Amino acid sequence: MFTGKKIGLVLSGGGIRGMAHIGLLKVLQERGVKAQSVAGASIGALVGALYANGNSIDEMLAFFKETPLFQYSFFAIGKPGLIDTERYFSVFQQFFPHDSFEQLNIPLHVVATDLLQGTEKVFNQGALIMPLLASAALTPVFSPVEIDKVLYADGGIMNNFPKEYVEQGADLVVGSNVSVNGKLQKKDLSNSLQLTSRITGLMIYASCREKICECDILIEPAQLDQIGVLDKKGIEKAFTIGYDAANFAMDAYLDKNKP
């Protein structure tokens, strides 16, 4: 069914919920399916980079389990944001020692937000680590990243589902959207922070909804709403949810497209 077909892979932003992306990758691996191009925003860019780098599923999970989110020595001083994003460079360098898009096994497109111009920026050549840090710089927790005198932040702000960068020439587009926005209870909107988070999430989701629906195979598990965006305790749970959702989506696609 998938032999000889060019597959584009799209991975959205969504914090720790992005471990569901790795669940999808495990299912693709088990079924002998490999993407020929990858595009991602925020956590999707990080997972996509590890996949394009040839890291194993266990190595991908270890990357997120072992990388500290809130480390005292990483607190930002003289920068906007609580955490200095650029302090993670050495951590990333352990996984990407060549620091180069060209050294990856699969073409990768990383989306970030140009805060000065208010536009989307896609990185797909040259240095790799700084664009990854920029794409994952979730505001206001992580500080913007400076590249060539421009400040960049979370790619999900402008394009949380960058499908357009992999669809050209692709026979199939496989997407994973973990920025889900299911129904809430009144108690879930009890303060200004929760309200702001909900409104921002809905706006980001609405801007990408049409592209999400155009995927040939899509996982978008509602159960991920139970996991906090920065809750590292949810890593294994999100991974399992993604794995189960991916198996279901693949089976549904195969049933629908039987010869």
H or E segment to which residue 41 belongs: strand 37-41
CA 88, distance to chain mean position in Å, is 17
Active-site annotation holder among 12, 37, 114, 154: 154
- Clarify whether 100 is annotated catalytic: no
d(CA 64, CA 232): 8
d(CA 93, CA 104): 14
Listed residue (126, 117, 141) closest to 42, CA to CA: 141
Which residues are CB-neighbours of 166 under 8 A, at least 6 positions away? 8, 9, 10, 35, 37, 38, 39, 109, 173
Burial bucket for residue 102 (CB in 10 Å: 0-12, 13-18, 19+): exposed
Active-site annotation holder among 12, 37, 42, 143: 42
- Clarify whether 42 is annotated catalytic: yes
d(CA 16, CA 44): 10
List of E strands, 42-101: none
Q: In 3-state terms, what secondary structure has residue 40?
A: strand
- Residue 235: Cβ within 10 Å count: 18
d(CA 108, CA 55): 14
Instruction: Give catalytic residue positions.
Output: 42, 154
